[in-house]
Structure 1
Amino acid sequence: MLIETIKPRPLDESKNLIVPGNYQKTLTFCVEHFIALSKQALADHGFFAVALSGGSTPKVIFEKLCSSPYREQMNWNNIYIFFSDERALPPDDPNSNFHMAMQAGFNKMPIPTEQIHRMEAEVDIEKNALKYEETIYRVLGKRPFDLIMLGMGEDGHTASLFPFTEGLNITDRLCIANYVPQKKCWRMTLTFSCINQASNICIYVLGANKRYMLAQVLFHPSQKTLPVEQVGTPQSKALWIVDEAATIR
């Protein structure tokens, strides 16, 4: 198994880096890592609480995870699914993160329906962000998420925490409605306060189109002026899982 042979490299007090290899090897590592974290959580406290990310890379990860031989390695009855962010779209819209994840295979897995918690961002987004935060507290209690999955946009955003948005500065909430002026839309998103409490934070960056921004964030840090640079703490380091195409400098 790849996960047993490849170890992360410390970058600084808040980040570790792992480069499993090419695109396919990195996808395999991501799936094996997801399964390993689920087994650790089950052994520790009996369930696995994960916040899924949107985007093309998570979609492929989910498809692989929900296919043989990987799906047989998951205890689907004890997984609690949340989301790291969501567009203001109904659940059947193709651009909804929830819709993507379900269509990628989660809707075919034996997960109890009441354990899948989508973000209702299409109406009353500020009210529903509060409700989502209440759901997190109700399900997890004082426990952090076992895994929060994130990506990185070419502008340095992560989840729906975009540059120059008010959500970057909110420290007393787990989930918020964040207006994104550059996209002229609202998004629902977990906050840094929530993300940085997680037991495991993974940022998946695959593909040459992310190469420039990745180099800026990992090797030429800008004193945390980009949203994704605020992910990770000494107590809960972010693991950057990156393929070779994204790391060539």
Structure 2
Amino acid sequence: MSTEPRVEVHETSSALATAVAGELLTRLADIQSAGRVPQISLTGGTIAEDIHRELARLSAASEVDWSKVVVWFGDERFVAPDSPDRNVGQARAAFLDAVGATQIHPMPSTADAADVDAGAAAYAATLREHGSGEFDVMMLGIGPDGHIASLFPGFPQLDVTDEVAVGVTGSPKPPPERISLTLAALNRSRSVWFLVAGSGKAPAVASALGGADVHEIPAAGVSGREETIWFLDREAASQL
């Protein structure tokens, strides 16, 4: 059973990024030394970019074999494959290519699927084929509105319980078309890490940790099977 969430507060967003990157490398090394192939899910956003750069910097001195890490994404913008909006493109540029990650499963782009629903179905099939049934580490950002992945407050996708991934149209944040893992899929994680920096996120963080309704603050609806950690900078934690 998932335990109470743990809250880690770091003085600055850069200190937060370094701490998260170091913790992830330690986890991956431990999983690999135990003879398992780790499965992780990445997120996008500014703090994720900082963490990814730190992963590139710190990986050289770590024991992690990135060619034996399976990489997934919690959501993606349904745009052209070479669009700068793509989370996978940002992650590749920041660290995945540099560290030698090869088992990367990007969500479909507009070149791969006719629409967001077809893309979601295709990603679900890929996850069923190459996934292990759960993620070792699920990394999630949170929006000022409390959204996670591309699951937004009040959207019907929050109530989908029988799918792995869903298409999203009319996103309140551009671009409007996206693919997202469902709450059910996000919750199939041993460890869920929320990565949050900045005072603009502080109200949503406080609401999520305070047990808000998932339809108002979607972040309140995800927790890890073994642990849930909120990695916050001082500003994001300012309303706790």
Whether the TM-score (by the shorter chain) exceeds 0.5 is yes
- Whole-angstrom CA distance in 2 between matches of 1:120 and 1:231: 24
Matches within 5 A, 1:1-249: 13-67=3-57, 69-73=58-62, 74-112=64-102, 115-122=103-110, 123-124=113-114, 125-141=116-132, 143-180=133-170, 182-183=172-173, 185-219=176-210, 221-224=211-214, 225-232=216-223, 235-249=225-239
d(CA) in 2 for partners of 1:239, 1:105:
23
Q: Name the SS for the 1:104 alignment partner.
A: helix
Deviation at 1:178, TM superposition (A): 2.0
Contact 2:160 2:182 in 1 (8 A): yes
Q: Judge which range, 14-23 or 191-200, deviates more.
A: 14-23
> For residue 208 of structure 1, what is the amino acid of its counterpart?
S
Q: Is the Cα–Cα contact under 8 Å of residues 86 and 189 in structure 1 kept in the other structure?
A: yes
Evaluate the alpha carbon distance shift between residue 60 and residue 137 of structure 1 in structure 2; reply closer, same or farther with a 3 A threshold.
same
Task: Report the CA distance between 1:91 and its aligned residue.
Answer: 2.5
Q: How many Å apart are 1:139 and its aligned residue?
A: 1.2
Deviation at 1:24, TM superposition (A): 2.6
User: Residue 26 of structure 1 contacts residue 243 of structure 1 at CA under 8 Å; is this kept in 2?
Assistant: yes
Q: Which moved more, 1:154-163 or 1:237-246?
A: 237-246
Question: Mind listing any 5+ residue stretches in structure 2 that lack a counterpart?
Answer: none
Amino acid at match of 2:127: I
- CA contact 1:49–1:146 (8 Å) conserved in 2: yes
Q: Secondary structure at the match of 1:130?
A: helix
CA root-mean-square deviation: 2.0
Closer, same or farther: CA 140–222 of 1 in aligned 2, 3 Å: closer
TM-score (norm: length of structure 1): 0.85
Preserved CA contact (<8 Å) 1:165 1:179: no
Aligned-pair identity in percent equals: 25
CA distance in 1, matches of 2:83, 2:213: 38
Give the TM-score normalised by the residue count of structure 2.
0.88
Give 1:136 deviation, angstroms. Answer: 1.1
Do 1:121 and 1:187's aligned partners in 2 also have CA atoms closer than 8 Å?
A: no
The 3-state SS of whatever aligns with 1:189 is strand
